[in-house]
């Protein structure tokens, strides 16, 4: 199982939100590049980088942060937040992103999202499947659709998607444990998907439980920044 630390960016700084609420923002570090280098030095290979300003603006805002990390480290960066156009996708890859994550766009403009899969390949585009009560949530989780989570993943897997980041909105940022049972169910239904668990991780035991489910990776955010999981513990996976 890959441990994938998360860096969320607002105004060029590392922050974390609670349940996606911009009003519940906590700053952790002024330099995302310095933070990324810490992860790299610990032996971690991947990074989940989210442009929260971009998510609001519906276009990439913090491209300088992406470029500084891809040029200043060897981390494989998956980038998301505000990627809503062909131009933004091309820009993110030009700036060194290894993969791109699309969530709302996959619901609101499936034709465009499918064109990215066709152009860049199912290994380069990650499906962001954020769920609230097993229904897909979009637009920074402000809108819950009637789309079933597992059906949504199945549909895009059939269209060539290999990687899915699944966040249970009810767990995110609360440090109360991840939705392990939900991830088990997804993998039972779609065993060949590379599922990346996100949200709720609070301690090493959570990572051990997730590893048993067979998820491809787990995103760790607040648990690291709040000192509940150390770099060494993350690197051990």
- Cα distances from 126 to residues 121, 196, 203, in angstroms, run 10, 10, 26
Name the token pair of 197.
Answer: 């668990």
How many Å from the N-terminal Cα to the C-terminal Cα in the chain? 7
Residue of 165, 157, 217 whose CA lies nearest to 193: 157
Residues 6 or more apart whose Cβ sits within 8 Å of residue 201: 175, 177, 178, 207, 210, 218, 219, 220, 221, 223, 229
- Selecting among 130, 168, 172, 206, the annotated active-site residue is 130
8 A C-beta contact, residue 214 and residue 190 = no
- 148 catalytic? Reply is no
8 A C-beta contact, residue 201 and residue 229 = yes
- Selecting among 8, 51, 53, 78, the annotated active-site residue is 8
Residues 6 or more apart whose Cβ sits within 8 Å of residue 138: 103, 104, 107, 108, 130, 145
Name the token pair of 224.
Answer: 């690291």
Neighbour count for residue 145 (Cβ, 10 Å): 16
- 51 catalytic? Reply is no
Catalytic residue set: 8, 130
């Amino acid at each position: 199982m890959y441990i994938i630390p998360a860096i969320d960016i607002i105004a060029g700084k590392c922050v974390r939100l609670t349940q996606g609420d911009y009003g519940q923002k906590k700053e952790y570090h002024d330099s995302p590049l310095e933070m990324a280098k810490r992860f790299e030095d610990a032996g971690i290979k991947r990074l989940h980088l989210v442009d929260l300003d971009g998510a609001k603006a519906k276009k990439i805002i913090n491209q300088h942060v992406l470029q500084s990390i891809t040029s200043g480290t060897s981390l494989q960066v998956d980038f998301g937040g505000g990627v809503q156009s062909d131009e933004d996708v091309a820009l993110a890859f030009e700036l060194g992103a290894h993969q791109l994550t699309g969530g709302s766009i996959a619901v609101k403009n499936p034709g465009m999202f499918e064109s990215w899969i066709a152009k860049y390949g199912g290994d380069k585009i990650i499906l962001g499947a954020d769920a609230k009560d097993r229904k897909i949530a979009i637009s920074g989780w402000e809108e819950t659709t009637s789309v079933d989570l597992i059906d949504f993943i199945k549909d895009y897997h059939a269209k060539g998607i290999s990687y899915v980041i699944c966040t249970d909105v009810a767990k995110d940022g609360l440090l109360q444990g991840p939705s392990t049972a939900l991830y088990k169910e997804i993998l039972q239904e779609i065993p060949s998907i590379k599922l990346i668990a996100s949200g709720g991780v609070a301690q090493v035991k959570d990572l051990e439980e997730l590893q048993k489910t067979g998820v491809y990776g787990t995103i760790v955010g607040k648990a690291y920044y709040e000192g509940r999981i150390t770099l060494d513990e993350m690197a051990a996976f």
